[in-house]
Amino acid sequence: HGEAFVGYRVKGHAMVLISEGGTALASLHLRPAHKASGKALIARKPGDPTGFLGVSTVDGLAFMLVMTNLTTDGVMMMDIGGELRHREPQFWDRNDKTFWSGRHRNDRRLNRSNILWPMTPNVCEDSFMHYQQTGASRQLQLLSHTSRSSLTAGSVGSSGSGEGEGSFPLFVYPKYGSRAVSRFQKTVWACPESIIVVGTPALLDGPTEEHNIQLEHPLSRRPAQEGLGNWEAVVSTLADAFGVPPQRLLEVTRLSGDSLAPLPAELVHEVLVQKLSGDDIQALLNEGRQRDDSLASNHQAAAGVATPGTMPGSSATQQVATASQSSGDGHSLGELAGAATPAGVVAGRRLMGHGVSRLLIERFDFERASADARLHFGVHEKLQSSMAKTLVDAQETEQLKLDVAQQIDALRAGRRDVLFDSICSVYETNECVICLRSDPRPNCVLYQCGHRCLHLKCIESSQLRRCPVCRAPIAAVLPD
């Protein structure tokens, strides 16, 4: 009662975080960016129990990371790359932006957005490493090592430390004190055909808990070592967002350094924005796109990328040989993906409208991070034909349904005892608080608060979502 057990067939070749009990906690998909040609998938890395491969079928693919919290147990955090976070006592009780200080931070992660709300996909398309370095938002782009070796330092997508990395550890953290914490005691990453999701649909509707969300402006990310004054840093940041030189922005706004120098940084930004008309903004955006296209064409020519379908430095004979090896019968998707050319993640095109961040001030249980896993990237342009052979026929689908149904039955059989054991104390009332009758006595316990204050038939007819005694959300109803 209260909980739903649902089986899903996994589409899109994702990696999934699974609890010891066999229920799905979170998932990660790779998707091509809007209007980008090609496909992307995640598969196990052969011979590596904690390794996974994120593979693109197109070199230079702009892609998105799609992260999903598959529970109704509260907010989670997912970091792709960087370092494991740790609890810092001196910052633990902060309720402002300084909470994210010391070892609470992870500045070297790949994904800029990393908060996962229950049952809501988080689609991240911009590089956090580039944002940390410049304050500007750029697309995530996958580039093979063959192509990157031909690019010169300082080119688009190679703006310094961290750019071009091709291997990232994964960390998922439950909200501190949430119901999900117990499910993180032992976890494993996998690429399953099907998953079982256990949740309480009522927790997704109606009033939600208040969250401390604050705004963070990209100007605060401008590196101090660049040696720019306050006004120069603001102009440079805003110009980079459009993709034009700082001097070009000053020309369009008809402003000079002398007029901006006496102003504080926040006011400089406001003055610049007010000076830009809608036509000015569109013109600057067009100039930036043309500039990016020109740079991208030059880099492709330097890397020897003749067409989107040809791997840099690969002959037609080599490609046919790779395709033949990859499409052999009996090879798993991981073995096929394992033939990919290693690739790194670089910063691609500029993204507009991603300047201000919504910063969640929330405690996460850094001591209960997910199991070890590392995501490697590669490019395999002949994998697309092999992906079509992984379709499941009708007979296999029926067998998959049967297997999932059996797993759900096994989970439900012991679910009451598991939840009952996790309640600290049971608080009993003499009469049902709905019908006000004491004969019979209340015969069910509300999870998680532990109140035995209702008749089972009363709660089923009333469709309560919160405990009538303490107002805690009802995640499950445990009958005696």
Highest mean pLDDT (candidates 1-10, 80-89, 149-158): 80-89
- List, in order, residues 6 or more apart from 304 with CB less than 8 Å away: 147, 150, 312, 313
The arithmetic mean of pLDDT across residues 10-31, rounded, is 93
- Looking at residue 259, its amino acid is S
Whole-prediction pTM: 0.75
Give the model confidence (pLDDT) of 79-121 as tens digits: 999 999 999 999 999 999 999 999 999 989 999 999 999 999 9
Share of the chain above pLDDT 90, in %: 37
Asked if pLDDT for residue 47 goes beyond 80, the answer is yes
From the CA atom positions of the chain, what is the Rg in Å?
26
* CA 152 – CA 295 distance, rounded (Å): 12
Residue 347: which pLDDT band, with cuts at 50, 70 and 90?
Answer: confident
- The per-residue pLDDT for 422 is 73
Greater pLDDT, 138 or 28: 28
Beta carbons of 431 and 454 less than 8 angstroms apart: no
- The per-residue pLDDT for 384 is 65
- The per-residue pLDDT for 185 is 92
Token representation of residue 200? 């309480």
- The per-residue pLDDT for 1 is 55
Highest mean pLDDT (candidates 21-35, 151-165, 409-423, 462-476): 21-35
- List, in order, residues 6 or more apart from 38 with CB less than 8 Å away: 32, 56, 57, 58, 61, 308, 384
Residue given tokens 């990310």 in the structure block? 221
Asked if pLDDT for residue 168 goes beyond 90, the answer is yes
Beta carbons of 369 and 84 less than 8 angstroms apart: yes
Residue given tokens 């908060």 in the structure block? 115
Question: Smallest Cα–Cα separation from 125: which of 38, 34, 37, 60?
Answer: 34
- The per-residue pLDDT for 322 is 28
- The per-residue pLDDT for 398 is 82
Share of the chain above pLDDT 70, in %: 80
Lowest mean pLDDT among 131-135, 198-202, 387-391: 387-391
- List, in order, residues 6 or more apart from 88 with CB less than 8 Å away: 101, 102, 103, 104
Asked if pLDDT for residue 15 goes beyond 80, the answer is yes
Average pLDDT, the chain: 80
Lowest mean pLDDT among 79-83, 229-233, 384-388, 438-442: 384-388
* CA 27 – CA 18 distance, rounded (Å): 9
The arithmetic mean of pLDDT across residues 7-17, rounded, is 92
- Looking at residue 214, its amino acid is Q
Residue 338: which pLDDT band, with cuts at 50, 70 and 90?
Answer: confident
Write phi, then psi, for 289 (nearest 5 degrees).
-65, -45
The arithmetic mean of pLDDT across residues 13-32, rounded, is 94
